[in-house]
Amino acid sequence: MRRRDIVRRKVDFIPPDTLWKDQLRVDQGMSGKTPLEYVRLFFENEVISHIRDQTNICALQEDGKQLGVSSANIERFLGVLSFTGKVKMPSCHSHW
């Protein structure tokens, strides 16, 4: 089969039904937590420090400039990621 013999068809994406009706139990103690509190549940301070250090090293190697990322910056970034993963919006752009 030659490459030009391949026919591409555009098919509309239909997302599967991922709602777990009455199967998902949410810990009531988790509701109302801030994104930063979620981050601190999953990442210890040592991991945050390691990510900070490696980010600064990578910036220095790539651009020759000190980036100066702090642990608080990393926690905020991970908080934003957890927030955008938890809160449903029509598009990524809608979060901003």
Instruction: Quickly state the pLDDT bin for 65 (edges 50, 70, 90).
Output: confident
d(CA 35, CA 69): 19
Whole-number Å distance between alpha carbons of 51 and 27: 29
**What is the spatial distance between Cα 17 and Cα 15, in angstroms, rounded to a whole number?**
7
Answer whether 0.75 is exceeded by the pTM.
Answer: no
pLDDT of residue 19: 64
Q: What is the pLDDT of residues 66-88, one digit of tens each?
A: 889 999 999 999 988 877 766 66
Q: How do residues 8-20 score in pLDDT, each as one tens digit?
A: 777 787 776 666 5
Q: What are phi and psi of 79, to 5 degrees?
A: -65, -40
Q: Which residue has the tokens 């555009």?
A: 10
Instruction: Give residue limits of the domains in the chain.
Output: 35-96
More confident site: 95 or 14? 14
